[in-house]
Structure 1
Amino acid sequence: KYAVTVITRIFYSVNKCHSGRITLRQVRRSDLLDAFFLVDAEEDINKVTRYFSYEHFYVLYCRFWELDHDRDYRITREDLLKYGDHSLSHMIVDRIFDAAPRPFGSAPDDNNKDYLSYEDFIFFMLSEEDKSNEVSVRYWFNCLDVDGDQRLNNMEMRSFYAVQLHRMQCMNHEIVPFEDMLCQMMDMIKPQHSDYLVAEDFLQPECAQVSGALFDALFNLNKYLMFEQRDPFVERQKREDEFETDWDRFACIDYNRLAMEEEAREEEAMEIDWVTVDEDDDGDDDVIEGEDLATGGNASSEAPF
């Protein structure tokens, strides 16, 4: 699975048209060769965050494993709705299955519209946790562009946001009207046209770090609420930290979470083992006492280990 993860990540970043074939021109335009040289020279593979980090693989695979309850290596719509503490709307989940780009040139069809493979999930998760790069922007733009005209109009955005409004009401959160949300986002993105958005609007250098907020507003309620309640000091810390991308930051935090959970499970297992040993000792003492009565106290006990 590590090799599959590395290959899928390479195709995700290098083969941006998702044709399933990487051309020499795409290789030259990418950082793939630099990553090859770096991973060849670097002893710690986790320092090569582009494509090869084992910690990144661990995060991706564990997240997939957490959702794949029946262990058939397929994620259903119901499974994906649980991602990120049920942060995604059912409307965007349907669009992910129906319209999101798939790895290696494959396209959603009647045979695979009902599930995501591990490779499909990698595409989804890389796009979900870092909405500031071109690949993820086009991934989500395709999902939101319901009529396929390469334009995101107010009607499409309003339909997605209506689901968010309903979720806000159910969770007793303060309601942010669609017009207010859209005005705020347009001020940040500054699109070329006031009536609709195109993918290139999100890719402007000056708004690369904030354009993902519109995507979150339309389908990820948890992240949108975090954006609304963001702390300027924390945001400045993010801009000044060591991570090159939002994905690198997320993967580091999530890997530490998974490592702590694994350590806690191991400690709990050790405690259970010791409790079992103590119970066995108590049982042995009872037997020995009976033997002592029969043999005059000369019996000896064997160590439990």
Structure 2
Amino acid sequence: MESEWPTTPPLPKVQVVDVPRFFFPKGVPISISENEAALRRVNDVFSTIGNKVTMINMAEVCRAAGIPIYWKRSVYDSCCNNLSRSISIADFASWWNRMTAVAHDEAARFVYTLAGPNRNYLTKEDLAPILKDLIETFPGLHFLREAEEFHSRYVETVIVRIFWAVNRSWTGRITINELRRSNFLETIRKLETTDDINAITNYFSYEHFYVIYCKFYELDKDHDLIINKIDMSQHCNGALPPQIIDRIFSGAVTRSPAGKRIRQALETIGYTDFVAFLLAEEDKRHPTSIEYWFRCLDLDGDGVLSMYEMEYFYNGIKNKMDQHNIDSMRFDDVICNLLDLIRPKQPNVISLSDLKKCLLCTRFFNTFVNWVKYYEQEASEGERATVTDGEEELNDWDRYCLEEYEALMADDQDNDELEDINLNLDDDDDLLIGSNINTAVNLSLREFGDSQRTKILEAI
């Protein structure tokens, strides 16, 4: 008797599809033949030089290997294990084979070169050697080489700018993926195409460093590289209300040397914290600046700006304007305009994502951060005119540095002319001469690229 149970059809034969690998955390592997070809070119360099290479020859070695030449300090240190000795082709080949076995694209190789095989991220200390080497070997920084006392300030400034633009996670550690998403490695390669350090405004510009250091120097009256709240209150002729200054010193936007968030209020901040502040203050459209000011305004840390928080900071702006006998709007009118500007997803509260989507977020932040900029934007008709460098439109930071640098140069030129006049006075005017020369020197301290002025300052 046949079974009455229904029979099921056989399962179709499954075809195995070979899906090619698509995830390469250390970059798409480069062929062995390509890596070996680079090593042969390096071997030719060693043979030409005499089989032993010192730091002086590392630019040729890097160029032969296809490595950006301004990595050379870290490549040399890796090959000789930081012992500052000459290296052989065997030393380089050993390092090259280890590195190329695990690091395949430029971002992964950069991290391996600076941090070694046991870390997949960069700290601020990792970047210092290549920046010191940049000062020593970049043709356009010859004037800075002569003023050694400013080397560390330049290095610190550049490192803060790198982390500001690249370390979008605020961790104090630059990852390989963050490098890939940034233009930092591309900018390092651009250094090989020019002798003018100011032609590349990203990260390395001496003029930008000059502006930043002068702004800090004006506040740091005792020149101990530390400023307090009273010092900060003098920034931009008192444009910052005390509510904002308190938040800058609260630890909300400050990191410890280890990269950890500081959770207690600070009595003072250092030079690097000021650099971060100035970057945020003068380019409020930058993503990191938006996050910086949002952290300042978010008093309770709940991730949104409430009416209470915005009124609290606006009162600081209003009080400043009242002190200068300038009429100000009521908060109710101000907030209506801001809500129309931002168009937040949730009614009556503003989130970080709301601000990042707003092209006019600078207007929003000025309303709570800087009373002078707030007054200027409310008194003017429309936005500021754009400034271009050739065909390229300058961002807010580049425009600020361009204007400030020109003003500082004009100021120093006036001081130099005053000094020349004083030196031509009669001997009977010794008292007047002494007074004016001292003023001229004090005002021209910004010319720290000039070794003679540095020596005058030391003598004083």
TM-score with structure 1 length normalisation?
0.85
Q: 1:222 aligns with which of 372, 388, 399?
A: 372
Q: 2:295 aligns with which of 122, 139, 142?
A: 142
Q: 2:204 aligns with which of 29, 38, 52?
A: 52
Residue 115 of structure 1 and its aligned partner are, at CA, apart by: 1.1
Q: 1:107 aligns with which of 241, 249, 261?
A: 261
1:25 paired with 2:177, answer yes
Residue 276 of structure 1 and its aligned partner are, at CA, apart by: 4.5
1:260 paired with 2:388, answer no
Task: Say which is worse superposed, 188-197 or 49-58, in terms of deviation.
Answer: 188-197
Q: 1:76 to 1:117 in 2, by over 3 A?
A: same
Corresponding residue of 1:213: 363
Corresponding residue of 1:288: none
Residue 165 of structure 1 and its aligned partner are, at CA, apart by: 2.0
Structure 1 residue identity aligned to 2:270: S
Corresponding residue of 2:386: 238
Corresponding residue of 1:91: 243
Q: Distance in 2 between matches of 1:33 and 1:6?
A: 14
Residue 109 of structure 1 and its aligned partner are, at CA, apart by: 5.2
Residue 240 of structure 1 and its aligned partner are, at CA, apart by: 6.4
Q: Distance in 2 between matches of 1:278 and 1:239?
A: 50
C-alpha offsets along residues 165-185 of structure 1, whole Å, 9 cap, x if unaligned? 222222221221111111111
Structure 1 residue identity aligned to 2:353: E
Q: Distance in 1 between matches of 2:424 and 2:224?
A: 35
Q: Secondary structure at the match of 1:18?
A: coil
Q: Secondary structure at the match of 1:12?
A: helix
C-alpha offsets along residues 188-244 of structure 1, whole Å, 9 cap, x if unaligned? 21111122111111111xx22x11211111131100000101233x73x32767443
Residue 100 of structure 1 and its aligned partner are, at CA, apart by: 3.5
Corresponding residue of 1:201: 354
Corresponding residue of 2:420: 270
Q: Distance in 2 between matches of 1:16 and 1:101?
A: 13
Query: Greater RCO between the two (CA within 8 Å, min separation 6)?
Result: 1
Structure 2 residue identity aligned to 1:101: V
Q: Distance in 2 between matches of 1:164 and 1:227?
A: 13
Q: Secondary structure at the match of 1:238?
A: coil
Q: 2:272 aligns with which of 91, 102, 119?
A: 119
1:187 paired with 2:187, answer no
Structure 2: runs of 5 or more not aligned: 1-152, 431-460
TM-score with structure 2 length normalisation?
0.57
Q: Distance in 1 between matches of 2:381 and 2:387?
A: 13
Q: Distance in 1 between matches of 2:214 and 2:379?
A: 29
2:317/2:369 contact within 8 Å kept: yes
Corresponding residue of 2:150: none
Which structure is larger by alpha-carbon Rg, 1 or 2? 2
Q: Secondary structure at the match of 2:301?
A: coil
Structure 1 residue identity aligned to 2:405: Y
Structure 2 residue identity aligned to 1:76: N
2:233/2:239 contact within 8 Å kept: yes
1:161 paired with 2:314, answer yes
Q: 1:108 to 1:248 in 2, by over 3 A?
A: same
2:252/2:263 contact within 8 Å kept: no
Corresponding residue of 2:217: 65
Structure 2 residue identity aligned to 1:107: R
Structure 1: runs of 5 or more not aligned: 281-305
Q: Secondary structure at the match of 1:75?
A: strand
Q: Percent identity?
A: 36
